[in-house]
Structure 1
Amino acid sequence: MNPKKLVSLFLATLILILAGNAPAQAAPETNPLNLAAKSAFLMDVRTGRVMYAYNEEERIQPASLAKILTFDMALEALEKKQISLEDEVPVSEKAWRLSMDQGVSRMFIEVGDKVKLEDLLYGLMVSSGNDAAVALAEFLAGTEDDFVRQMNARVAQLGLTDTRFSNAHGLEAPDQYTTAKDMARLAQHLILNHPEGLKYTSSKQFVFNGIPQNNWNKLLFQDPRVNGLKTGHLASAGYHLVATAKEKEGETYLIGVVMGTASEDLRAREAERLLDWGFKNFSTVEVPPPALPATLPVYKGEQGTVPVKLQGDTLATVPREDTGKLKAAVELEELVVAPLPAGSQVGQVTITSSQGEPLKSVAVVTAGEVKRGGFFRVLWDSLRLLFRRL
Structure 2
Amino acid sequence: MKARLTFAAIAVAALATSAAGLVLAQAPAPDAPAAAASAALPVPPPPKITGTAWVLMDYASGNVLAGENYDTPLEPASITKVMTSYVIAAEMKAGKVKETDQVMMSENAWRSGGAGTDGSYSGFEVNKTAPLLEMEKGMVVQSGNDAAIALAEHVAGSTDAFASLMNQYAARIGMKNSHFVNPHGLPAEGHVSTARDLALLGRALARDYPVAYSYNKIKEFTVGPITQPNRNLLLWRDPSVDGIKTGHTSGAGYCLMASAKRGDQRLISVVMGSTSEAQRASDSQALLNWGFRFFETHELYAAAKQVAKQKVWKGKADEVQLGVAAPMLVTVPRGRYEQLKPMMDVPATLVAPIAKGQKIGTVKVMLDGKAIAQQPLVALNAIEEGGFFKRLWDEFWMWWESI
Band of TM-score, shorter chain: 0.7 to 0.9
Task: Tell me the CA shift for residue 184 of structure 1.
Answer: 0.7
Identify the residue that residue 184 of structure 1 maps to in structure 2. Answer: 199
Residue number among 271, 275, 279 corresponding to 1:258 in the alignment: 271
Residue number among 88, 93, 99 corresponding to 1:85 in the alignment: 99
Identify the residue that residue 244 of structure 1 maps to in structure 2. Answer: 259
Question: What is the distance in 1 between the residues matched to 2:85 and 2:369?
Answer: 41
Q: Is the 8 A contact 1:287 1:327 kept in 2?
A: no
Shift in CA distance, 337/183, structure 1 to aligned 2, threshold 3 Å:
same
1:139-173 Cα shifts (integer Å, max 9, x gaps): 10011111112212222333322111111111011
**Matched letter for residue 66 of structure 2:** Y
Identity of aligned residues (%): 35
Identify the residue that residue 352 of structure 2 maps to in structure 1. Answer: 338
Residue number among 173, 187, 210 corresponding to 1:195 in the alignment: 210
Task: Tell me the CA shift for residue 316 of structure 1.
Answer: 1.4
Question: What is the distance in 2 between the residues matched to 1:213 and 1:292?
Answer: 50
User: Are residue 287 (structure 1) and residue 304 (structure 2) matched?
Assistant: no
Task: Tell me the CA shift for residue 105 of structure 1.
Answer: 0.5
Residue number among 73, 77, 86 corresponding to 1:59 in the alignment: 73
Q: Is the 8 A contact 2:306 2:321 kept in 1?
A: no
Structure 2 SS opposite 1:321: coil
Number of residue-to-residue matches in the alignment = 357
Q: Is the 8 A contact 1:345 1:365 kept in 2?
A: yes
Question: What is the distance in 2 between the residues matched to 1:368 and 1:71?
Answer: 38
Identify the residue that residue 110 of structure 1 maps to in structure 2. Answer: 125
**Matched letter for residue 88 of structure 2:** A
Identify the residue that residue 320 of structure 1 maps to in structure 2. Answer: 334
1:225-250 Cα shifts (integer Å, max 9, x gaps): 11000010001120100000111x3x
Question: What is the distance in 1 between the residues matched to 2:168 and 2:93?
Answer: 19
Question: What is the distance in 2 between the residues matched to 1:357 and 1:54?
Answer: 21
Structure 2 SS opposite 1:170: coil
Identify the residue that residue 138 of structure 2 maps to in structure 1. Answer: 123
**Matched letter for residue 181 of structure 2:** S
Note the residue ranges of structure 1 that are not aligned, 5 or more in a row: 1-30
Identify the residue that residue 87 of structure 2 maps to in structure 1. Answer: 73
Question: What is the distance in 2 between the residues matched to 1:315 and 1:265?
Answer: 33
Note the residue ranges of structure 2 that are not aligned, 5 or more in a row: 1-44
**Matched letter for residue 222 of structure 1:** R
Q: Is the 8 A contact 2:301 2:329 kept in 1?
A: no
Q: Is the 8 A contact 1:39 1:56 kept in 2?
A: yes
Residue number among 39, 42, 63 corresponding to 2:56 in the alignment: 42
**Matched letter for residue 322 of structure 1:** R
Structure 2 SS opposite 1:184: helix
Residue number among 282, 295, 319 corresponding to 1:269 in the alignment: 282
Identify the residue that residue 206 of structure 1 maps to in structure 2. Answer: 221
Shift in CA distance, 361/146, structure 1 to aligned 2, threshold 3 Å:
closer
Task: Tell me the CA shift for residue 389 of structure 1.
Answer: 2.0
Task: Tell me the CA shift for residue 333 of structure 1.
Answer: 4.2
1:195-228 Cα shifts (integer Å, max 9, x gaps): 1123200100111113211001111011111100
Question: What is the distance in 2 between the residues matched to 1:156 and 1:363?
Answer: 22
User: Are residue 165 (structure 1) and residue 180 (structure 2) matched?
Assistant: yes
Shift in CA distance, 70/300, structure 1 to aligned 2, threshold 3 Å:
same
Question: What is the distance in 1 between the residues matched to 2:181 and 2:363?
Answer: 43
**Matched letter for residue 78 of structure 1:** M
Task: Tell me the CA shift for residue 292 of structure 1.
Answer: 4.2
Task: Tell me the CA shift for residue 322 of structure 1.
Answer: 1.4
User: Are residue 361 (structure 1) and residue 374 (structure 2) matched?
Assistant: yes
Higher relative contact order, structure no. (Cα contacts within 8 Å, ≥ 6 residues apart): 2
Shift in CA distance, 347/34, structure 1 to aligned 2, threshold 3 Å:
same
Residue number among 297, 302, 313 corresponding to 1:299 in the alignment: 313
Question: What is the distance in 1 between the residues matched to 2:174 and 2:375?
Answer: 22
Task: Tell me the CA shift for residue 363 of structure 1.
Answer: 2.9
Shift in CA distance, 293/108, structure 1 to aligned 2, threshold 3 Å:
closer
TM-score (norm 1): 0.85
Task: Tell me the CA shift for residue 179 of structure 1.
Answer: 1.0
Identify the residue that residue 170 of structure 2 maps to in structure 1. Answer: 155
Question: What is the distance in 2 between the residues matched to 1:240 and 1:207?
Answer: 24
Task: Tell me the CA shift for residue 387 of structure 1.
Answer: 1.5
